[in-house]
Amino acid sequence: MSFIPLAKLLRPHGLAKSGVLSFKAELFSPGGLALQNQNQIFIFRSDTKKYQAYNLSGLPEPLGAKWGENRFVILRFPEDHSPAQGSDVFIKRESFPAIDDKKEVYICDLVGLPVIDEKNESVAKILGYTELGSTPGTATRPRPMNLRLQLFSSGEEIEVPMDWVNWAPWHAGDRKTLSIPDVSTWLHIDQADDGAKDDDVE
């Protein structure tokens, strides 16, 4: 089981009403479609090193723009069981909306995957991604971004534009192609999963 951070709770949004406390939350990626139909979120507690579940009092609501274009959301919690201001909001990866995996991929699913060269040898690992600017996007392509890679040969960390990834059909056994001129080779993202790590939940 894995948890994906989607937003940060900024502050209470107005006063508590009828036992419900509303928070304004800032999305890490504009759009927030993965949060749209959630009725439960998770907060990582540093004291217990576990994820604690919080039920929502109603579905999240976009703030300032419609879903897919918004940068903020309103999350409502029972007043007697609400997380602390400043907490990061997580949801389970398996609760993300379904997508056509022959055409699209969630960016978070690339993190941790090895990158191989034309000899089928692992030469790098995907460490994460860096979002650029504030251009709205979609759930699967939130905004322009770079992939962050670590090269095994030197330990160097490099960033390459996401646009260099060939978004070919995501069929089992196929690999997306990544051209990196700086290292004079064609690299491929290996989709083989090395095993999901279970996260503790309270």
Maximum alpha-carbon separation in the chain: 63
pLDDT single digits (tens) 57-71: 999 999 988 988 888
25 has a pLDDT exceeding 80: yes
The rounded percent of the chain whose pLDDT value lies above 90 is 38
**Which residues does 46 contact at the CB level (< 8 Å), separation at least 6?**
none
| Beta carbons of 148 and 137 less than 8 angstroms apart | no
DSSP per-residue letters across 144-168: SEEEEEEETTT--EEEEEGGGB---
Q: Tell me, what's the pLDDT at 20?
A: 97
CATH fold label, 107-189: Thrombin, subunit H (2.40.10)
Using CA atoms, how far apart are residues 37 and 135, in angstroms rounded to an integer? 23
Q: In the chain, what are the domain boundaries?
A: 3-95, 107-189
Domain covering 3-95: architecture: Beta Barrel (2.40)
140 has a pLDDT exceeding 60: no
